[in-house]
Structure 1
C-alpha cells in the first residue's frame, strides 16, 4: 500500500482517497466546519467510552438462583447497630443475656451465627449475623413469635434507648463459600463489604468461585454473602484471623499465589465502594 498526496493505492484496482481530517476541516465552509468537528468529537467520545464503560451482559435468571446454594434454603440477616458511646457496655450486657436464649430455643428456626463489636472502622457499633433455616417463611415465623415474647419486647424497649441508629440487610450465601460454623477463639474478624456496580454480581461470583481456594489454606474464610433486601448489589466477605499481624501475613502471602493478582485485576472495576471492619466477638458469640 502506498499513500501519494492523500491517495491510498492498494496495489491493484482503483485509487482510494484518504484525506487528512485537517484538510477536510480547512476545505469546508465555516458553518460546516462545526458540524464536521462535532461529528469527529462524537466518534472520539464514543471510542473513549468503550474503553472505560463496562458492558453488562443480560441475565437469564435471578442472582439467588445462579449464585446461592441449592441444597439449603437458609436466609441470613445482617444487623448494624450504632450505639450511644456511654451505653455500649449496657447494650452488650443485655444482648448477651437475651440473644443466646433465642439461639438455643428449638421453637425458633434461627441461629445466631455471630455477634461482634467493631474495633476498627465505625466506632461504638455492634454487628449481628443470624441464619434462618427455611428462608423467608422461617424469618416470618421468628418475627411473629418474638412479638409474643415478653422478654424480647422488654429487651427491644431497653435497647431503643441505647441506639443512635440501626439498619439491616437480608442476605444469601454464595454457593462456593463454606457455611459459617462455630469456631474457638481467640480470633479477630474482618467484614469486608463491597458495593458493586449494578449488573456485575454474576461476574463477581464467577471470579471468586475460582479464586476462593487462594484464601482457604489457613482456615480464614468464614462466609461470603450477597444482599437480597436492603442495600442491593452488596457483597460481604467474613474472615477470621488470630490477630492483625496474622491478617497482614496471610493477605501478603496471597499475592505470591499464581492467579490471585488476576482476580484482583478483574474484580476491582466491578466495585463502586468498599469498606473493612475489624471486629471483636462478644462473649456469647458462637464465632470466637
Structure 2
C-alpha cells in the first residue's frame, strides 16, 4: 500500500508541474511590467527638490510667480510642499508622451532666455539637491483627480524585493485596492519606477485633512480584508516610506 500511495503522489506532483509550465507559457505572469508599457508611451517624471532651509519661502514664492514659464513647455500634473516625511522639500510630477518629447522640452528650456534669467538662475542657488525618477502608471490604475480642492496628499513609496511585478505585482495591487475600494482614502494613481530605484512602486492618495487620513488609517487597520492583503504583500517588501504633502497654489492638483 505504501508504494502505491507514493506512486500516486509522484504522478500528481508531475502533473501539477506540467500544468504550471503550460499556464506560465500561455499566460505570462509579468503582465504588470510588459505589455502596457510597450503599448502606451506616456510616462510621469517624479522630481524632488531639497531647498536650503532659509530659502524655502523664497523658493516657493518664486516658483509660484514663474511656473508659467515652465508649464509653457510641458504638462504639470501636480506640485506639492512636503509637510511630513521630509523637511524643506518640494515634489512635482510632469507628464510626457515619449522620451523624445522630454528631450525636446529639455533642449527648449535650455534655449529659453526668460526661463533661465527669471527662474533657473535664481532658483538653483536656493537648492541643495535635486532627484528625479521616471514612472509609469501600472495597468490597473488610472490618474484621478481629487474629490475637491484643498486637502492633503500622501505619497507612499514601496521598495519591493527583487523579482519584479511578475513576483509581487498581484500582492501589491491587492493591498492597494483593499484600501481604495472601501474608501479608506482616494487613490489618485499607482506608479511603477522605470528609471531610479528598481522594484519600486508608489501610491498617491488624497484626504480631506491630515486628521481624516489618521482616522481612515485607523479604520483600515480594523478591516480584516485590508489586514490580510497587507500581510500578504509584506512578504515581498523591503521598506516603505510615506510623505504627507500640501498642494502649492499653482498646482493643477489643488
Tell me which interval the TM-score lies in, with the shorter structure as reference length.
0.7 to 0.9
Does residue 89 in structure 1 map to residue 57 in structure 2? Answer: yes
CA contact (8 A) 1:183 1:286 kept: no
- For 1:280, the equivalent position in structure 2 comes to 246
TM-score of the superposed pair, with normalisation by structure 1 = 0.71
Alpha-carbon distance between aligned partners in 1 of 2:182 and 2:146, rounded to the nearest angstrom: 18
Which structure carries more helix by proportion?
2
Alpha-carbon distance between aligned partners in 1 of 2:133 and 2:179, rounded to the nearest angstrom: 28
CA contact (8 A) 2:29 2:166 kept: no
| TM-aligned CA deviation for residue 100 of structure 1 | 3.4
Aligned length: 228
RMSD of aligned residue pairs (Cα, Å):
2.7
For residues 51-84 of structure 1, what are the alpha-carbon distances to aligned partners after superposition, in whole Å with 9 as ceiling and x for unaligned? xxxxxx9x886964256594x4211111111100
Alpha-carbon distance between aligned partners in 2 of 1:68 and 1:214, rounded to the nearest angstrom: 25
Does residue 149 in structure 1 map to residue 112 in structure 2? Answer: yes
CA contact (8 A) 2:70 2:115 kept: no
How does 1:19-34 map onto structure 2 within 5 Å? none
For residues 156-207 of structure 1, what are the alpha-carbon distances to aligned partners after superposition, in whole Å with 9 as ceiling and x for unaligned? 2211100111111111111112214366422111111111111143333212
| TM-aligned CA deviation for residue 270 of structure 1 | 1.4
For structure 1, the 5+ residue unaligned runs are 1-9, 11-56
Alpha-carbon distance between aligned partners in 1 of 2:86 and 2:170, rounded to the nearest angstrom: 30
| TM-aligned CA deviation for residue 114 of structure 1 | 0.7
Alpha-carbon distance between aligned partners in 2 of 1:263 and 1:126, rounded to the nearest angstrom: 31
- For 2:180, the equivalent position in structure 1 comes to 215
| TM-aligned CA deviation for residue 217 of structure 1 | 4.3
Which one of the candidate residues 263, 271, 274 is aligned to 2:229? 263
For structure 2, the 5+ residue unaligned runs are 3-23
Which one of the candidate residues 163, 170, 181 is aligned to 1:206? 170
How does 1:67-82 map onto structure 2 within 5 Å? 68=37, 70=39, 72-82=40-50
Alpha-carbon distance between aligned partners in 1 of 2:63 and 2:166, rounded to the nearest angstrom: 36
Larger RCO (alpha carbons 8 Å, 6+ apart): 2
Alpha-carbon distance between aligned partners in 2 of 1:259 and 1:169, rounded to the nearest angstrom: 32
| TM-aligned CA deviation for residue 111 of structure 1 | 1.2
Distance 1:153 1:131, change over 3 A: same
Which one of the candidate residues 135, 146, 151 is aligned to 2:98? 135
TM-score of the superposed pair, with normalisation by structure 2 = 0.79
How does 1:4-153 map onto structure 2 within 5 Å? 64-66=33-35, 68=37, 70=39, 72-103=40-71, 105=72, 108=73, 110-132=74-96, 134-153=97-116
| TM-aligned CA deviation for residue 245 of structure 1 | 1.8
Q: Helix, strand or coil: the match of 2:61? A: helix
Larger radius of gyration: 1
CA contact (8 A) 1:82 1:165 kept: yes
Greater CA drift, 87-96 or 253-262? 253-262
- For 2:18, the equivalent position in structure 1 comes to none
Greater CA drift, 152-161 or 200-209? 200-209
CA contact (8 A) 2:81 2:247 kept: yes
For residues 129-172 of structure 1, what are the alpha-carbon distances to aligned partners after superposition, in whole Å with 9 as ceiling and x for unaligned? 1111x221221121121111112223222111001111111111
